[in-house]
Amino acid sequence: MIVMKFGGTSVQDAEAIDRVAAITRERLPENPVVVVSALAKMTDQLLAMATAAGAGNREQALELSLGARERHFNTASDLLGTGRFAQIHAELEEEFNALDELLRGVVAVGELTPRTTDNIAGFGERVSSRIVTAAFSCRGLNASLVDSRQCIVTDANFTRAVPQFEETNSRLSETVKPLLAHGRVPIMGGFIGSTRDGVSTTLGRGGSDFTAAIVGAGLDAERIEIWTDVDGMLTTDPNLCRNARRIKTISFEEAAELAYFGAKVLHPATLLPAIQKNIPVLVLNSRNPKNEGTRITATAPKSKSIFKAIAAKKRITVVDIVATRMLMAHGFLKSIFEVFANHRCAVDMVSTSEVSVSVTVDSSESIAAIAADLGKLADVKYEGRKAIVCLVGENIRSTPGIAAKVFSAISDVNIHMISQGASEINISFVIDEADVPKVVSRLHDCFFAEVDPEVFA
């Protein structure tokens, strides 16, 4: 079997969902399980409704919900025609009524908890998976809706829940395998799961890719296909650099670094389950399905080019911690990292000197509280609006003088932190967010003007 995941733009309207049905039909002999995201921008809108309700703006929340309801009704009726639309109409009504009830509840209690946020955020996938299932059936595909909340079991870490693999795998085997055995096409919403007690959770923004990988690893898929709106993994974000090229093949390790450092095309956790089971991951374009996309596998063919790609991760905060009392006494770093851990805040990059430590974090929500706690140990300052730029490639390991080449290309840019060596396949550094377009396009011109045609298209 294979897993095919279609992202938000790939299911954004009736035309897109029609394309998805055609793409899936071609793969029927390979027994696909289909994972779908919410319609494009839907999750943002759901979160906007939740925020409005949490702030007591009842009318605004319900108006946004009405807009979403209409969009889904229109999409379904375009796809299904009036007769068949009547069947799904009641199901969609029920979902949107439940959403409105939740929003009213949030207004009534005057508080939006992470638990309710996740419940609301998950509606996009709940309804998109219903519509896609109906559209497939209408087009003669034997589709069966699988409620992901019954299969993807997670902890209760709302808004970025962690899957419990053992339980999830056995539920996937019980629910999805029999459908495949009967020649059905199981359709699942990405991004959503639930705790063992049945409380709805989400895997974090962009988490449908992760769902696809969890399902693929759980069912020992031959391949996981991530269908999106670009031709594959590109040498950099096409929004930053118009001449970004397609990477034909890339290793798990390289792709994972890129995803972690901001290549939004893959959710950072996607590759972990695939790596464990050694399942190839393909990134493909649902608007250009004939293109061969990017193939991500354990070992990619040797490339002559130094780098495979450049990623940039914005909205980074740099925290500088200066040890006043005890010049980095032993245990000092431990106590600093304990503060971040206590706030459940992940640290991306670290650099140290005799008396100071700088770290980067990517969420600024709890930064004031973290700084207050760090202030008990040392002098602290922090500054947001920074970005990490990361160059990735396995040839970094064996090529001398790379850092000099990189930094001489951007010698006029203020660099706040540098890191190389941790993984041996990446060089990363921190700059002001405003410098990202200039830095990325200059480095891209420098390192990707002439590239190895074996690896890049």
Residue ranges that bind ligand ASP, judged by CB under 6 A:
7-8, 37-38, 43, 124, 190-191, 205-209
Alpha helices in 330-435 (DSSP H): 332-342, 367-374, 402-409
- Burial of residue 289 (CB within 10 Å: 0-12, 13-18, 19+) is middle
Nearer to ligand ADP, 106 or 427 (CB): 427
The least CB distance from residue 206 to Mg ion, in Å, is: 4
* 434/387 Cα distance (integer angstroms): 9
β-bridge partners, 2? 32, 223
What lies within 8 Å, CB to CB, of 392 at 6+ separation is 254, 257, 258, 261, 307, 308, 309, 310, 311, 425, 426
CB of 203 to ligand ADP, least distance (A): 13
Residues in contact with ligand ADP by the rule CB under 6 A: 7-10, 37, 206, 228-230, 233-234, 236-239, 263-265, 309
Burial class from Cβ neighbours inside 10 Å (0-12, 13-18, 19+) for residue 400 reads exposed
Nearer of residues 124 and 216 to ligand ASP, judged by Cβ: 124
CA distance 355 to 327: 5
* Cβ 204 to ligand ASP shortest distance, Å: 8
Q: Which does 399 bind (CB under 5 to 8 A by kind): Mg ion, ligand ASP, ligand ADP, none?
A: none
Closest distance between ligand ADP and the C-beta of residue 326, in Å? 43
Q: How far is the CB of 120 from ligand ASP (least distance, A)?
A: 12
Binding string, residues 200-239; x marks residues near Mg ion by CB under 5 A: ------x---------------------------------
Q: Which is nearer to Mg ion, 11 or 349 (CB)?
A: 11
Q: Widest CA span of the chain, in angstroms? A: 76
Residues β-bridged to residue 291: none
Task: Return the DSSP state at 240.
Answer: T
How do beta strands 356-361 and 2-6 pair?
unpaired
| Nearer CB in complex with ligand ADP: 194/228 | 228
Look at residue 191 and give the partner it binds from Mg ion, ligand ADP, ligand ASP, none, a contact being a CB closer than 5 to 8 Å depending on partner kind. Answer: ligand ASP
CB 34 → ligand ASP: shortest distance, Å? 14
Q: What is the Cα gyration radius of the chain? A: 23
The DSSP 8-state label assigned to residue 146 in this structure reads E
Question: Shortest Cβ distance from residue 8 to ligand ADP (Å)?
Answer: 4
76 touches, from ligand ADP, Mg ion, ligand ASP, none (C-beta below 5 to 8 Å by class): none
CB of 128 or CB of 358, closer to ligand ADP? 128
With CB atoms as reference, the residue minimizing the distance to ligand ADP is 7
Which spans of this chain sit near Mg ion (rule: CB under 5 A)?
7, 206
